[in-house]
């Protein structure tokens, strides 16, 4: 049974995250939307606080997330995954792009938490790690990685190009997906921790984007890039039977967190829209049937119901992760629902708010632009639906494409 009442320790950290969002992120949200690629200096003041929260186990860093190889717990547990979800909902209520720019909060940290050995977790647990998966030749098909990693003595030599790397210029480390043997297919895909100063690693360019402009999105080149032999995450052996389930386990951690990003943004949109509608004299009632209310009020109630469903799905997937239950299906369900809801709610809000929605006076138009990426990265809407179908029908990736 899932206990939906949050424990006091999570409420405290969630309230702290909300204060950060309200006092630091939201006030400079428009500033960095208009100043793309400019580093948000306000975030420097947060670095020490974030590290302190992570040390206490209540932070939002991927390195604080639950590890899949721990024994199953008895009873209900709300640990690092639930803390991460609650915190990211609050910070993305403030600003999604700035949340992605907070030191030590990189998506690569979740990969480290998911598949690193205990020794590696000790070494890399407090770094700021971005994630490098996508390449020019593919997007959502993670098995199509062409970047190579060749063992040369005590070092791995990596060659390839990675695109759309969130925090790719600012992070201290990059988790790179590469194949160690192209002849063995997806089973040979491994993840490697590449330090920022590794020889052969360079930033080719930063992308200009529709939204999340405060976050740097980089193209990275690996040209005979050398890293230590023990920087390969998890088991270095190629197990054809297991495939690349180890590296894919990363997504079971990160997809509910991305869902939380969309949920935080969606809540911000609904709060802003409610204020605009109320100011326009439109009453939103929970006692009167929607079809007997103003059309805009009926739309708002439907949007709010969708948001609530997305929130509950994310809670479920995250609770399962904390309680060591397989959550691949639920993680994809939460990501699909929240990503779709965030985009639909923000675009409808722009429409219902009229001239206010399309102007830059409120943040509605910015949130509409920011929302789209949350339905794309960590697996598109279509990919999530494909994964869900496979899980429900018991089909493999070769049986259902």
Q: Are residues 197 and 276 in the same domain?
A: no
- Any domain includes 74: yes
- Full residue range of the structural domain in which residue 274 is found: 245-393
Please write down the HEC assignment for all residues of 325-394: CCCHHHHHHHHHHHHHHHHHHHHHHHHHCCHHHHCCCCCHHHHHHHHHHHHCCCCCHHHHHHHHHHHHHC
Whether 2 shows a pLDDT value over 90: the answer reads no
Q: Model confidence over 265-306: pLDDT tens digits?
A: 999 999 999 999 999 999 999 999 999 999 999 999 999 999
pLDDT value of position 107: 84
- Any domain includes 157: yes
Q: What is the DSSP string of 138-190?
A: BSS-GGG---EEEEETTEEEEEEEEEEEETTTT-SEEEEEEES-GGGGGGGEE
Q: Are residues 140 and 177 in the same domain?
A: yes
Q: Model confidence over 141-157: pLDDT tens digits?
A: 777 899 999 999 999 99
pLDDT band per the 50, 70, 90 thresholds, residue 6? confident
Last residue of a domain, one of 87, 105, 124: 124
Strand partners, 201: 222
- Any domain includes 240: no
Task: Give the chain's domain count.
Answer: 3
Q: Are residues 70 and 119 in the same domain?
A: yes
DSSP state of 133: -
pTM of the predicted model as reported, rounded to 2 decimal places: 0.91
Last residue of a domain, one of 93, 124, 155: 124
Contacts of residue 335, Cβ cutoff 8 Å, sequence gap at least 6: 255, 256, 258, 259, 378, 379, 384
- Any domain includes 141: yes
Question: Comparing 173 with 378, which gets the higher pLDDT?
Answer: 173
Q: Are residues 112 and 223 in the same domain?
A: no
Mean pLDDT taken over the chain = 89
Q: Are residues 119 and 92 in the same domain?
A: yes
Last residue of a domain, one of 107, 124, 141: 124
Strand partners, 130: 174
CA 102, 128, 107 angle in degrees (round to 5)? Answer: 75
Q: Are residues 388 and 324 in the same domain?
A: yes
Q: Are residues 257 and 389 in the same domain?
A: yes
Contact 339, 258 (CB under 8 A): yes
Q: Model confidence over 23-82: pLDDT tens digits?
A: 999 999 999 999 999 999 999 877 666 665 555 444 444 434 445 444 444 556 777 889
Output phi, psi for 161, to 5 deg: -130, 130
The 10 Å CB-count burial string (b at 16+, else e) for 311-344 is bebbbbbbbbbbbbeebbbbbbbbbbbbbbbbbb
Whether 5 shows a pLDDT value over 80: the answer reads no
Q: Are residues 120 and 140 in the same domain?
A: no
Q: Are residues 119 and 185 in the same domain?
A: no
Read off the CATH number of the domain in which 16 is found: 1.10.540
pLDDT value of position 241: 56
Q: Are residues 108 and 139 in the same domain?
A: no
pLDDT value of position 220: 98
- Any domain includes 236: no
Q: Are residues 271 and 170 in the same domain?
A: no
Report how far apart, in Å, the C-alpha atoms of 173 and of each of 55, 170, 255, 275 are. 19, 9, 21, 42
Read off the CATH number of the domain in which 210 is found: 2.40.110.10
Q: Are residues 279 and 221 in the same domain?
A: no
Q: Model confidence over 245-254: pLDDT tens digits?
A: 556 777 888 8
């Amino acid at each position: 049974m899932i206990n939906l009442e949050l424990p006091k320790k999570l409420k405290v950290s969630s309230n702290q995250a909300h204060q950060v969002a309200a006092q630091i992120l939201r006030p400079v949200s428009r500033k960095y939307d208009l100043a793309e690629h400019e580093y948000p200096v306000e975030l420097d003041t947060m670095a020490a606080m974030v590290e302190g929260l992570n040390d206490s186990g209540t932070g939002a860093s991927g390195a604080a997330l639950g590890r899949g190889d721990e024994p199953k717990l008895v009873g209900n547990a709300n640990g690092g995954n639930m803390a991460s979800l609650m915190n990211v909902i609050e910070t993305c209520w403030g600003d999604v792009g700035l949340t992605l720019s907070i030191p030590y909060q990189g998506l690569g940290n979740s990969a480290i938490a998911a598949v690193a050995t205990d020794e590696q977790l000790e070494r890399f647990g407090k770094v700021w790690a971005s994630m490098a998966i996508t390449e020019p030749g593919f997007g959502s098909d993670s098995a199509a990685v062409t970047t190579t990693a060749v063992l040369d003595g005590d070092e791995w030599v990596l060659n390839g190009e990675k695109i759309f790397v969130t925090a790719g210029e600012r992070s201290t480390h990059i988790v790179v997906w590469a194949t160690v043997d192209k002849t063995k297919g997806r089973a040979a895909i491994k993840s490697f921790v590449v330090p920022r100063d590794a020889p052969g690693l360079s930033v080719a360019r930063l992308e200009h984007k529709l939204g999340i402009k405060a976050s740097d999105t980089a193209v990275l080149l690996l040209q005979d890039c050398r890293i230590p032999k023990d920087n390969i995450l998890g088991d270095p052996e190629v197990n054809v039977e297991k495939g690349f389930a180890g590296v894919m386990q990363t997504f079971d951690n990160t997809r509910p967190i991305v869902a939380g990003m969309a949920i935080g943004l969606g809540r911000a949109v609904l709060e802003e829209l409610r204020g605009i509608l109320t100011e326009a004299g439109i009453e939103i009632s929970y006692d009167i049937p929607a079809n007997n209310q103003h059309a805009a009020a009926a739309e708002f109630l439907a949007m709010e119901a969708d948001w609530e469903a997305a929130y509950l799905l994310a809670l479920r997937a995250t609770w399962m992760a904390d309680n060591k239950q397989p959550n691949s299906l639920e993680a994809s369900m939460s990501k699909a629902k929240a990503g779709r809801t965030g985009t639909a709610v923000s675009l409808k809000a722009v429409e219902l708010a009229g001239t206010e929605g399309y102007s830059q006076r409120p943040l509605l138009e910015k949130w509409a632009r920011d929302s789209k990426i949350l339905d794309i990265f960590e697996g598109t809407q279509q990919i999530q639906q494909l994964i869900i179908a496979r899980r429900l029908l018991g089909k493999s990736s070769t049986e259902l494409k």
